[in-house]
Chain A
Amino acid sequence: MVSGQINGRDVRTRAVGWNPRLAVLLAPALAVMLLLFGGGLALGALQALGHLPGAGMAELTADHFTRVLLDPDFPTSLGLTFHIALTSTVIAAILSVALALALTRWAVSSRLVHFVLQVPLTVPHLVVAVSMLFLLAPAGLIARLAAGAGLIASPGEFPLLVNDRWAFGILLVYVWKEIPFITLMVLSVLQNAGGELLEVGRTLKAGAWQRFRFILLPVIAPSLAAACLIVFAFTFGAFEVPYLLGRTYPMSLPVWAYRSYMDVDLAARPEGIAIGLIIALVVMGTVALSVWLNRLARGRETGR
């Protein structure tokens, strides 16, 4: 038996070899994942490589991938998708850390605030997108406020905040949705360890900035990084929000994938799947890269 500490509690993991009981516990979940998730990706890859026996296409070809990758719009779409995912993640991360720090510092721990903070977690993205449309559109609530204040006379004068070049509306939805997620992840770490460590920092004469940089940041870094990766992965591959709040051109990759897949021309379908797989690859690549970089950094810290 191996003893260990998780979250300060004494727990015991039982080291066992492979036994039938363990297989029974794991098999259903692994089977579902292999068949549905792995199978979905594998079959998608086959179709994207042109293997559609029913439709008379049986030979493998990279045509669909090359057509997508060489499409003049591809770099723009990729760039837009990265912009949406990265910008919203970074903004949400910065605001979340600030919020978490403020909440711990001012000891705001009322049940109400915690409850309210959880609200966005449960609200579907789609609903938030609809609401942002009502708020930010040229004839939306904010434009009406501006008109009431005499700032604009007609909807046309209101700055474009949805279906706009910089994807402002999309970013706003994601930031609103993801801040509570990241904040609660960071907060749970801070509340467990933050206070005492900061006091230790004070006795060791660390200044405010030093306490943040050398104590708080390292403490929250693992949870923050994990939360950011999940947010990035989600926003990179999500369809609803850019579909509702994005411009028709250029499209984000998920919207493009959807359009191609749903095209009346069935020949465009493999292209849609190819884009879907490219999205999956980018996301997995990003996560793998950051895990690797993190390991590298940790290796350097421990001098190995």
Chain B
Amino acid sequence: MSRRHPKALAAGIVLSVGLPFLPLVLWSLSERWFFPGLWPQQWGLRAWQHVLDAAGGQVASGLLQSTLLAAVTAAVSLVIGVPAGRALGLYAFGGKTLAAVLVTLPLIVPPLSVAMGLHLWFIRLGLAETFAGVVLVHLTVCLPYTVFVMWGVFANYDPDFEDQARCLGASEWAVAWGVTLPLVWPGIVVAGLFSFLLSWSQYLSTLIIGGGRVLTLPILLFALMGSGDRPVAAAVSLVFVAPAFLVLLVSARYLGRRGLMGVR
């Protein structure tokens, strides 16, 4: 009897995961679609033309803004988070628990609590409504994840590789660049993708600190939902998901089976 179960289960999973994309695709391709039509009464590419209108298009600039923001946040997270992950994963030292709590507490505290508190301070420092200010507030979300991932990577890492390279004549820098980096590269890729996606999907913290000046895709999408232009909202939603799929494909290639386990 169990012959058919695996296929049914697999089909069920694929269907459940795919279902939410159906209305988005249909709506983004519709011109007119009134109740109770199961199909748009009139198909069209208006929404996509609007979205892809590169010349001064809001969506295009939102896409650029979101991409830049996520990329910079991920890069900064890695630069700061990889060393911390190494310290936590490889060494036992006094005060380690405290350090661990400090870098992991932000994993559970919602970003809105932090962003609201930072806002006034950022206004005083001139960081409010700036790209840098938004990067900093995103960092409170992304950095802990980076540290966490790299902690796990370095806990399974054999530092003898580095000693081996040293006594083969590699300087400390040569070891860091030529041995450590390639060895933890898959972990760095995951951590980077993590951070990118987390920053990419931030809404409220961007809104509070960016104050409507830093127009990322989610900010635009929220505005569109308010305006009620469903086809465009659907198309923007799909654009918003696109990098996620890219990330997934990259990770499937890079990480094989383990995939993105642990990403939120």
A-side interface residues toward B, CB under 8 Å?
2, 6-7, 9, 11-18, 22, 24-26, 28-30, 32-34, 36-45, 47, 52, 54, 99, 102-103, 106-108, 110-128, 130-135, 139-141, 143-145, 147-148, 154-155, 176, 180-181, 184-185, 188, 229-230, 233-234, 236-240, 244, 254, 257-258, 261, 272-273, 276-277, 279-280, 283-284, 287
B-side interface residues toward A, CB under 8 Å?
2, 5-6, 9-10, 13-14, 16-24, 26-27, 35-38, 79-81, 83-84, 86-88, 90-95, 99, 102-103, 105-118, 120-121, 136-137, 139-140, 143-144, 147, 155-160, 197, 200-201, 203-204, 208, 218, 221-222, 225, 230, 233-234, 237, 240-241, 244-245, 247-248, 251-252, 257, 259-264
Q: Are B156 and A9 in contact (CB under 8 A)?
A: yes
* Whole-angstrom CA separation of A254 from B115 in the bound complex: 12
Nearest CB of B to A151, in Å: 11
| Cβ–Cβ < 8 Å partners of A283 in chain B | 108-110
A240 with B203, Cβ < 8 A, contacts A106-B6, A132-B20 known: yes
| Cβ–Cβ < 8 Å partners of B137 in chain A | 36, 40
Q: Are A47 and B120 in contact (CB under 8 A)?
A: yes
| Cβ–Cβ < 8 Å partners of A47 in chain B | 117, 120
Residue among B112, B136, B139 with the highest chain A CB neighbour number at 10 A: B112
Nearest residue (CB) in A for B230 is: A134
Nearest residue (CB) in A for B246 is: A122
In the assembled complex, 18 residue pairs joining A and B whose CB atoms fall closer than 8 Å, in A order, are: A26-B84, A29-B84, A44-B116, A44-B117, A115-B252, A118-B259, A119-B17, A122-B248, A123-B241, A127-B237, A130-B225, A181-B264, A184-B261, A254-B112, A257-B116, A273-B116, A280-B113, A287-B108
Q: Are B17 and A131 in contact (CB under 8 A)?
A: no
Q: Are B94 and A44 in contact (CB under 8 A)?
A: no
Nearest CB of B to A296, in Å: 19
| Cβ–Cβ < 8 Å partners of A28 in chain B | 79-80, 83-84
The residue that B237 contacts in the complex, of A34, A131, A240, A258, with Cβ under 8 A, is A131
Q: Are A122 and B84 in contact (CB under 8 A)?
A: no
Extra contacts, 16 of them, besides A12-B158, A33-B105, A184-B261 (Cβ < 8 A), are A16-B91, A26-B83, A26-B88, A29-B81, A32-B140, A33-B106, A54-B120, A111-B252, A118-B248, A119-B244, A121-B264, A122-B241, A124-B218, A140-B23, A143-B36, A234-B110
Nearest residue (CB) in A for B104 is: A33
- Chain B at the A interface: mostly helix, strand, loop or mixed? helix
| Cβ–Cβ < 8 Å partners of A124 in chain B | 200-201, 218, 240-241, 244
Q: Are B105 and A37 in contact (CB under 8 A)?
A: yes
A13 with B90, Cβ < 8 A, contacts A29-B80, A131-B23 known: yes
Q: Are A122 and B156 in contact (CB under 8 A)?
A: no
Q: Are A144 and B105 in contact (CB under 8 A)?
A: no
